[in-house]
Chains A and B, each alone.
Chain A
Amino acid sequence: MRRGWVAPLVLLSLVLQVACDSGSNRAAPVMRGPGKPAYGDALVVGSIGEPSTMIPLLASDSPSHEVAGHIYNGLVRYDKDFKLEGDLAESWEVSPDGLAITFHLRKGVKWHDGAEFTSRDVLFTYLVTIDPKTPTAYAEAFKQVQHAEAPATHTFRVTYARPFAPALESWGMSILPAHLLEGKDITKSGLSRHPVGTGPYVFKEWVAGQKLVLESNHDYYEGRPYIDRYVYRIIPDNSTMYMELKAGTLDMMGLSPVQYQRQTNTVKFRDRFNKYRYPASAFTYLGYNLRHPLFSDRRVRQALTSAINKEEIIQGVLLGMGQIASGPYKPGTWAWNPHIKDFDYNPERAKQLLAEAGWKETNPDGILVKGGKPFQFTILTNQGNSERLKTAQIIQRRLKKIGIDVKIRVIEWASLLSQFIDKGNFEALIMGWTIGQDPDIYDVWHSSKTGSKELNFIGFKNSMVDHFLEEGRSTFDMEKRKQCYYGIQEIFAKEQPYTFLYVPDALPVVNARFRGIEPAPAGISYNLIRWYVPKEEQMH
C-alpha cells in the first residue's frame, strides 16, 4: 500500500542532501606533503568519447589522439612552453636555405615488441601518409615534401621545394612501426585495435565502449613512468563522470565552469582533489558573412564589436573561466600581439559608427533603418553547444539596445555545414576554432581559401593579410614570423572580420594523491610520466 509514497520521499531526501552539500566553505583544505616518488598505482581518466582507432594517422577525433599520444612518439614535440623539442629525434638541422631538414634519431629506442626503432620507420610513416590509398586527414603538410630519404639507420632527411615553416611541427606526427605495417593494408591492420608504439605506455587492452588500459613501458627511453597503469574510462555523461570522480573511482577529468566555480569549493572536495586552470587552445567568435551587404562596411563590424560586452559573456557563459580574445592567438604565446587595441564595450561609439555608416533613423519598434530596410540579421550556431547558444542570447540582448534586431537559429552540425556554411548562406555565426601551436593560419584567412567547403567561409580578402600569411609560413626566422603575425592581428583589430569573443579555460581536476604535477602554459599532462603517488597513498 505504501509503495506509492516511498519514491517521492526518497527523492525529497535526496534533493535535500544535494542542497546541503554545497555549504561549508570556510577553512582551507589540508595540504599534503610531496611524499616520496614511487612506482605503482593507476591513473583513471574519464572521457566523454571513445577513441575510434589507435593508428593516429587515420584518426581525426581527440580521444584517439589523446590515448595514442601515450603510446607513440613523434620526431619532435612541444614542451611545456610550446617550444619544439626533440622526441625521437635527438636533434635536427635546417639547411641555410631553409629547404632541407636533417633529423638525427635517438639510438637504442625500442618498439614495444622489442624491435629497434630506425629511420626506416620514419620513412615508412612518411610514405604511408602520402599514399593515395590511405584515407588520412594529415597528408597535406607531408605533401610539401619534395624528397625524403633515410641515408643512415639513424638519420632522416627531407627536402622541400620552398621553405615551409609549419614543416617542422608536422614531424610531430606519431611514427608507426614499419616492420608491422610494411606491405600491408593499413586500414585493415590489427594495429588499430592493438597498437605497438615507442611511447611511455604499452597498450594492454581495449574493452569496447568501456575502457582502454595501458601499462607503463619499463624500457622507455626517458625512463620508466612512475604510474604503472593508465586507464581511459569512457563515460559519455558529464554528470555521471563527476559522480564517479566524487566516489573515488575516477582520478582525472575536465570540469565544466559551473562544477569548477560552484560545486567543488567545499573543504572536503579540496582535500581530495586538486583543480587546475589554464587557457585552452581554442577561441569562440562571432563571424560575419562579408559578402552580405549588411557587413561589407567595416564601420558596421566595428560598431557590432563595440556593442558587445565580452567580459559580460565570459561572466555569464563561463562564470569568469576564460579571457577576452582580441585575435586568433592564445594570449601569452609568442605569436600573440599584446599591443592590440581592441574595440572595448562602448555602445555610444557603436551608435556613432552606425550613424556614420548611414544607420541613423529608427522605426517605431526602435530598430535602426537605412533605405527603408531595418537592421536585422540571424546568428547561426550549432546544436549541442549551450555555451555558444548562451553567447548568442547575450549578444542578441546587447545589440537590441543599440537598435539591431537579432534572431538566433540553432542547427544540427551536419546541416549547418552542408546547407549554410558550404553554400555561404548565412549572415553571422557563432563558432570556434582550436588554436594550433604553430601560428600558421593560412587555410582560414588566405583569400585563396574562400571557395565552397574551404575554411575562409566568411569571405575575408585582404592583400596585406595574404602577404603576411605567405611570408610567415615561408621562413624559419622566428622574429620575422612574429612580425608577420603581429601585423595580421593589427589588421584584424581594425577590420573586425570576426568579433573575437573569448578564450575559455581548461579546467582539469586530478585526485590529490597524484604528485609531481607542474602546471605550465601547455597544461598539466606534458609530464605525465613524472607524476607519482607516494607508496602509502597508492590505491590500485
Chain B
Amino acid sequence: MAQYLIKRFLMMVPLALGITLITFTVIHLAPGEPVEMQVAMNPKVSAEARQRMREFYGLDKPLHVQYGQWLVRLAHLDFGRSFAPDNRQVIDKIKERIPVTLSLNIIALILEFGIAVPIGILAATRRNTPLDKAITVFVFAGFAVPTFWLALLLMYFFGVKLSWLPISGLHSLGSEGFGTFTWLLDMGKHLILPVSVATFSSLAGLSRYMRSTMLEVIGQDYITTARAKGLPERVVIYKHALRNALLPVITLLGFSIPGLIGGSVIFETIYAIPGMGQLFYMGVMSRDYPLVMGILVIGACLTLVGNLLADVGYAMADPRIRQGQG
C-alpha cells in the first residue's frame, strides 16, 4: 500500500509541472494583454503610459523569463499580485471568495448525493413502474430546463410576487446588526433558491448512473443466491447490492472535489453570488494572468488530489487494485 502511495505521489510531480506550463501557455496565447484590456480605446492614455504599465506588470520581459519568475514564486506558494488595478495578492482575492463557493457547493453536493442516490435506487428497484418513469421525467426536466430561465422565474415568483424569499446576494441590507441566529437564518433564506436550482439541475447524471449500476448489480448471481437463501428483499438490496453499486459512486465523488472550488458563472451572475466562477470569468476577460493561473493551478492540484483520493479509496475498497499492477 505504502509503495503504491509513493508511486502515485511521484507521478503527480511531472503532471503538476506540465499543468503549470500548459496553463501559462494557454492564457498567454489568448489575444489581448492585461494592459490593453484596461486602457484600450481610452483617448487619455498615451503610448508611453501603456509602456509604463507593461513594465509595471513585467510584461515587457520575454515569455520564458516571465514563466520562470512565476514558477519560482509559485514554488514559494506565492501566487503573485493581480494585474487588476487594485494590484492585490491573488491569494487574498481567492481567499475571500472560496468560503462562499465552497460552502454552497458542499451543500449542493450533499443534497445532490442525498437525493440522487436514493431516487436512483428507487428507480432501479421499481424498474419500469410509473414511479421509475416519473423520476426519469423529473430528473431530465431538471437537466433540460435552462438554469437561468428557471432561476429568473423562481426569483420572480418567490421574491417579487410572494416576497417570501430574497432575490439575490447572500445577506440582507443591515444584516451586520443581526444576532448570530437571525444572521444565519437570513443567509439560509438567501441560499434556498440558488441551492435548489443547482441541485435540481444536477440530479439527472448521478441518479441515472446510480440506477444503472444498481440494475447491473441486481442482475448478478450473488444477488440471486441471497434471494434464494430467503433473505428479506430489504437486506438483499441495501446490504448486499448497494455496497457494490456504490463503488463507482466513490469515483464520482472524487471527481467532484475540484469542482467544489469552481463556480458556475451563469449561476453566480444571476444570483449575484460573489464566488469563484465570477472571479475567474472576470480574470479571463481582463487577462489578469496571475489570477487566472492561480485559480487554474489550484483547480488542477485539487483534481490531482481528488484523483488520488479516489484511487486510494478504490485501493482500500477493492483488493484487486491494491495488489495488482497499480
A58 to B44, CA, bound (A): 13
A448 CB to nearest chain B CB (Å):
12
Binary contact track B227-257/A, C-beta < 8 Å → 1, others 0:
0000000000000000000000000000000
Chain B: number of interface residues, binned into ranges: 35 or more
Q: Chain A contacts of B47 at CB under 8 A?
A: 453-454
Query: With A60-B42, A137-B38, A413-B32 as given contacts, are A11 and B153 in contact (CB-CB < 8 Å)?
Result: yes
B173 proximal to A (CB < 8 A):
yes
Name the distance in Å between B46's Cβ and chain A's nearest Cβ: 5
> A316 on the interface (CB 8 Å rule)?
no
Name B39's closest neighbour in chain A (CB-CB).
A137
A12 CB, min distance to chain B CBs, angstroms: 10
Known: A3-B138, A7-B138. Is A233-B87 also a contact (CB below 8 A)? Answer: no
Are A417's CB and B40's CB within 8 A? yes
Chain A residues with Cβ under 8 A from B30's Cβ?
Answer: 414
CB distance from A195 to the nearest CB of B (A): 12
From B1-9, B17-25, B204-212, B268-276, give the one contacting chain A: B268-276
Establish whether residues B269 and A237, one from each chain, have CB atoms under 8 Å apart when the complex forms: yes
Find chain A residues with CB under 8 A from B279 CB: 209
Question: Which residues of A are found within 8 Å of B131, using beta-carbon distances?
Answer: 1
- Which 5 residue pairs spanning A and B have beta carbons closest together? A209-B274, A414-B32, A443-B43, A53-B86, A4-B137
Complex contacts, A419 vs chain B, CB 8 Å: 31
Interface pick from B163-171, B296-304, B315-323: B163-171
Q: 14 A–B contact pairs at CB < 8 A?
A: A4-B134, A52-B86, A53-B85, A137-B42, A143-B46, A193-B88, A208-B93, A208-B274, A249-B172, A413-B32, A413-B37, A417-B31, A417-B32, A540-B173
B45 touches A (CB below 8 Å): yes
Cα-based distance from A403 to B39 in the complex (angstroms): 39
> Would A192 and B138 count as touching, CB distance under 8 A?
no
* B270 neighbours in A (Cβ, 8 Å): 237, 239-240
> A27 near B: Cβ within 8 Å?
no
One of B31, B96, B174 near A208 (C-beta < 8 A): B96
Could you tell me which A residues sit within 8 Å of B by CB distance?
1-4, 7-8, 10-11, 14-15, 17-18, 42, 44, 52-53, 58-61, 64, 132-141, 143, 187-188, 192-193, 207-211, 231, 233-237, 239-240, 243-244, 246-247, 249, 412-415, 417-419, 431, 433, 436, 441, 443-444, 453-455, 540
Task: Specify which chain B residues have a CB less than 8 angstroms from the CB of A61 in the assembled complex.
Answer: 85
Say whether, besides A4-B135, A210-B272, A414-B32, A249 and B167 are in contact (CB < 8 Å).
Answer: yes
Q: Interface centre among B96, B130, B167, B200, by most A CB within 10 Å?
A: B167
Contact residues in A for B168 (Cβ distance below 8 Å): 235, 237, 240, 243-244
* Complex Cα spacing A455 to B271, Å: 38
Query: Which of these, B37, B159, B173, B269, contacts A414 with CB under 8 Å?
Result: B37
In the complex the two chains form, is B97's CB within 8 Å of A240's CB?
no
Q: A59 contacts which chain B residues (CB < 8 A)?
A: 85
Contacts of B87 in A (CB 8 A): 53, 58, 187-188, 192
A44, A414, A453: the one within 8 Å of B31 (CB): A414
Let me know if B157 and A14 touch, CB within 8 A: yes
CA distance A236 to B85 in the complex (A): 19
Q: Does B156 contact A (CB under 8 A)?
A: yes
Are B45 and A140 closer than 8 Å at their CB atoms? yes
Judging by beta carbons under 8 Å apart, are B134 and A233 in contact? no
**Contact B85 A210, beta carbon cutoff 8 Å:** no
Q: A137-B42, A140-B45, A240-B167 are in contact. List 9 more A-B contacts (CB 8 A).
A: A3-B134, A18-B153, A58-B85, A234-B274, A240-B155, A243-B159, A244-B167, A246-B160, A453-B50
Residues of chain B whose beta carbon lies under 8 Å from any beta carbon of chain A: 30-33, 36-50, 52-53, 56-57, 84-88, 93, 96-97, 100, 130-131, 134-135, 137-138, 141-142, 145, 150, 152-157, 159-161, 163, 166-174, 200, 268-275, 278-279, 287
Among residues of A, the one whose C-beta sits closest to the C-beta of B265 is A236
Q: Taking CB as reference atom, which chain B residue is nearest A248?
A: B163
Complex Cα distance, B273 from A454, in Å, reads 38
Q: A10 contacts B160, CB within 8 Å?
A: no
Shortest Cβ gap from A104 to chain B (Å): 26
CB atoms of A140 and B46 under 8 A apart:
yes
A15: which B residues are within 8 A, CB to CB? 153
Cross-chain contact B274 with A18 (CB below 8 angstroms): no
Q: With A and B bound together, what is the CA distance between A329 and B192 in angstroms?
A: 49
Which residues on B sit within 8 Å (CB–CB) of A210? 169-171, 272, 274
Of A52, A249, A436, A444, the residue contacting B85 (CB under 8 A) is A52
Whether B31 contacts A138 by the Cβ 8 Å rule is no
Nearest-CB residue, chain A, relative to B274:
A209
> A455 contacts B41, CB within 8 Å?
yes
Give the contacting residue for B157; candidates A17, A246, A412; CB below 8 A: A17
Q: Which residues of chain B are within 8 angstroms of A4 by Cβ–Cβ distance?
A: 134-135, 137-138, 141
CB distance from A96 to the nearest CB of B (A): 28
Chain A residues closer than 8 Å to B42, beta-carbon distance: 60, 137
Closest A-chain residue to B200, C-beta based? A7
**Contact with B44, one of A135, A140, A192, A453 (Cβ below 8 angstroms):** A140
Determine the residue in chain B with the shortest Cβ distance to A133: B56
Question: Which residues of B are found within 8 Å of A433, using beta-carbon distances?
Answer: 41
Is B167 touching A247 in the complex (CB atoms < 8 A)? yes
**A244 surroundings in chain B (CB, below 8 A):** 167-168
Nearest CB in chain A: distance from B43 CB, A: 4
By the criterion CB–CB under 8 Å, are B173 and A249 in contact? yes
B161 closest partner in A (C-beta)? A17
Across-interface contacts of B32 in A (CB, < 8 A): 413-415, 417-418
Query: With A53-B86, A418-B31 in contact, do A14 and B153 touch (Cβ < 8 Å)?
Result: yes
Residues on A with beta carbons closer than 8 Å to the beta carbon of B130: 1
Contact A135 B86, beta carbon cutoff 8 Å: no
Residues of A within 8 A of B160 (CB): 243, 246-247
A192 to B170, CA, bound (A): 24
B269–A1 CB distance below 8 A: no
- Docked Cα-Cα span, A44 to B272, in Å, equals 15
* A426 CA / B268 CA spacing, docked (Å): 36
B272 touches A236 (CB 8 A): yes
Inter-chain contacts of A44 with B (CB < 8 A):
173
Q: Could you say which residues of chain B place their CB within 8 Å of the CB of A209? A: 96-97, 100, 273-275, 278-279
